[in-house]
């Protein structure tokens, strides 16, 4: 069967990078049954991720990274998600955060290079920890209940963060907190081995179980003031192209479901038919519908990614387009997986088939930011203010 994602590769560099994603996807796929059942992230998959040098790909070329473009990031993420969406989404946060820090320069050069050099040397993995039980997603504007209280030359941090993907496997956490002495939100870089840092196993969800997005608990974590690496910027936040790794992930799940559905249709022949169900007209209609939906989603997502890469002067005005990609692609991915389930019929509900996992996992995309309602209001506002 043809590799749908490979059709978007454009040069030898793309092919070289893509092989890394292929290797990670194959390893991730081999652990799916266990990670989905136990809501765990595979240590072996993380080992392969690090062996492939994936954590350092988005770092600047000048310091030893690959200077990953957004377009490249998306086809890598999509391919990994074809193996396991949970793995793609989890490691995508790290790669995306480092892309953001490399391009937006939110940190001092000293702080950024210190972390970047550690990533280059040891392929350590980081993620932002921002979501909380009471405030929900930070995209909704809630103030963190996690606090950082100044005591002399140190800060003492207390709080709980939810949805911390790969929580138990991260080497560092970039934690948001309300900083008491400056009366604003700041971000602290915290080593996983710092006293008072612990992970509480709370992740028990319908889909994307393998992200192991457990709670990060901070109890009287004492840090020097130098660990305050970032402050919340005033004004309207800049568009974040790297967040397209979210729709890319769910599109990869949809491609995997499409591949399995076609294989199923070619091989399943009930005794009521003289041919496999691939010859039945309504099955062909569903396959055709999957194809045109995937064509639209791929074309939209990669066209916007190319604009982001090739026209940096326009990035400040691309917020609506980026949000629209997320809305369109995640909803399309869910529709494609639903069609795959209809092709498989009742067998698609069985744990012995991959379809039910794709169905559970793809639903999570509808709950990743930005949410559909927020996107629609943004687009309406732009149209009404023309």
Mean pLDDT of the chain: 96
**pLDDT tens-digit readout, 171-226:** 999 999 999 999 999 999 999 999 999 999 999 999 999 999 999 999 999 999 99
State which of 208, 231, 254 marks the end of a domain. Answer: 231
pLDDT higher than 80, residue 275: yes
**How far, in Å, are 74, 103, 242 from residue 309 at the CA level?**
12, 12, 11
**Do 153 and 106 have their domain in common?**
no
**pLDDT tens-digit readout, 5-34:** 999 999 999 999 999 999 999 999 999 999
**Do 246 and 348 have their domain in common?**
yes
153: closest CA among 259, 235, 227? 227
**Do 255 and 360 have their domain in common?**
yes
CA 38 to the chain's CA centroid = 20
Q: What is the pLDDT of residue 256?
A: 98
Q: What is the pLDDT of residue 236?
A: 78
Question: 30-50 burial by CB neighbour count: b if 16+ within 10 A, else e?
Answer: ebbeebbeebbbbeebbebbb
The Cα–Cα gap between 358 and 207 comes to 8
Q: Which pairs count as long-range contacts for 269-275, CB under 8 Å and 24+ apart, including other chains? A: none
340: closest CA among 330, 348, 332? 348
207: closest CA among 41, 364, 366? 364
Domains contained in the chain, number: 3
**Do 143 and 52 have their domain in common?**
no
By residue range, what is the domain housing residue 357? 241-384
Q: What is the pLDDT of residue 306?
A: 98
**Do 185 and 279 have their domain in common?**
no
Q: Which residues pair with 198 in a beta bridge?
A: 217
261 close to 343: Cβ distance less than 8 angstroms: yes
Q: What is the pLDDT of residue 1?
A: 59
**Do 101 and 152 have their domain in common?**
no
**149: domain CATH number?**
2.40.110.10
Q: Is residue 30 one of the residues assigned to a domain?
A: yes
The Cα–Cα gap between 356 and 309 comes to 36
**Do 266 and 289 have their domain in common?**
yes
Q: What is the pLDDT of residue 48?
A: 98
The Cα–Cα gap between 76 and 82 comes to 10
**Do 84 and 182 have their domain in common?**
no
Q: Is residue 299 one of the residues assigned to a domain?
A: yes
Task: Read off the pLDDT band of 322 (50, 70, 90).
Answer: very high
**Do 334 and 246 have their domain in common?**
yes
**Do 264 and 369 have their domain in common?**
yes
Question: 176-206 burial by CB neighbour count: b if 16+ within 10 A, else e?
Answer: bbbbeeeeebbbbbbebebeebebeebbeee
Tell me the average pLDDT across 302-330. Answer: 97
Q: What is the pLDDT of residue 44?
A: 98
The Cα–Cα gap between 116 and 22 comes to 25
Neighbour tally for 224: CB within 10 Å: 10
Tell me the average pLDDT across 329-337. Answer: 98
Q: Is residue 324 one of the residues assigned to a domain?
A: yes
Tell me the average pLDDT across 102-129. Answer: 96
pLDDT higher than 90, residue 105: no
Q: Is residue 236 one of the residues assigned to a domain?
A: no
pLDDT higher than 90, residue 2: no
pLDDT higher than 90, residue 165: yes
pLDDT higher than 90, residue 372: yes
State which of 231, 266, 281 marks the end of a domain. Answer: 231
Q: Is residue 70 one of the residues assigned to a domain?
A: yes
**290: domain CATH number?**
1.20.140.10
**Do 366 and 247 have their domain in common?**
yes
**Do 323 and 334 have their domain in common?**
yes
pLDDT higher than 80, residue 130: yes
375 Cβ partners below 8 Å, 6+ apart?
Answer: 323, 324, 326, 327
**69: domain CATH number?**
1.10.540.10
- Helix orientation angle between 319-344 and 355-363, rounded to the nearest 10 degrees: 150
State which of 231, 256, 287 marks the end of a domain. Answer: 231
């Amino acid at each position: 069967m043809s590799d749908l994602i490979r059709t978007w590769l454009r040069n030898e560099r793309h092919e070289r990078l893509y092989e890394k994603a292929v290797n990670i996807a194959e390893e991730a796929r081999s652990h799916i049954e266990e990670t989905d059942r136990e809501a765990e992230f595979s240590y072996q998959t993380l080992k392969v991720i690090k062996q492939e040098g994936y954590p350092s790909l988005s770092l600047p070329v000048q310091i030893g990274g690959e200077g990953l473009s957004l377009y490249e990031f998306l086809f890598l993420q999509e391919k990994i998600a074809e193996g396991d969406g949970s793995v793609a989404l989890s490691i995508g946060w790290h790669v995306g955060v480092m892309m953001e820090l490399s391009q937006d320069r939110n940190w001092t050069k000293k702080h950024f290079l210190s972390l970047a050099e550690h990533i280059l040397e040891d392929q350590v993995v980081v993620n932002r920890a921002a979501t909380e039980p009471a405030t929900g997603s930070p995209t909704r504007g809630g103030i963190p209940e996690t606090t950082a209280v100044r005591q002399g030359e140190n800060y003492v941090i207390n709080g709980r963060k939810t949805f911390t993907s790969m929580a138990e496997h991260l080497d560092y956490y970039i934690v948001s907190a309300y900083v008491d002495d400056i009366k604003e939100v700041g971000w602290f870089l915290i080593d996983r081995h710092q006293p008072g840092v612990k992970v509480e196993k709370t992740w028990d969800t319908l889909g994307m179980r393998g992200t192991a997005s457990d709670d990060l608990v901070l109890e009287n974590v004492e840090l020097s003031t130098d660990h305050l690496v970032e402050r919340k910027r005033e004004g309207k936040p800049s568009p974040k192209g790297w967040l397209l790794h979210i729709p890319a992930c769910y599109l990869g799940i949809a491609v995997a479901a499409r591949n399995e559905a076609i294989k199923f249709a070619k091989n399943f022949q009930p005794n009521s038919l003289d041919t496999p169900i691939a010859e039945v007209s309504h099955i062909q209609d569903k396959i055709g519908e999957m194809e045109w939906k995937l064509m639209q989603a791929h074309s939209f997502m990669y066209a916007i990614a190319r604009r982001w890469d090739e026209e940096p002067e326009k990035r400040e005005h691309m917020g609506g387009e980026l949000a629209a990609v997320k809305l369109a692609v995640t909803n399309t991915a869910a529709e494609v997986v639903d069609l795959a389930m209809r092709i498989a019929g009742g067998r698609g509900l069985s744990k012995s088939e991959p379809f039910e996992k794709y169905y559970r996992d793809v639903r999570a995309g509808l709950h990743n930011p930005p949410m559909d309602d927020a996107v629609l209001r943004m687009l309406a506002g732009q149209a009404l203010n023309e």
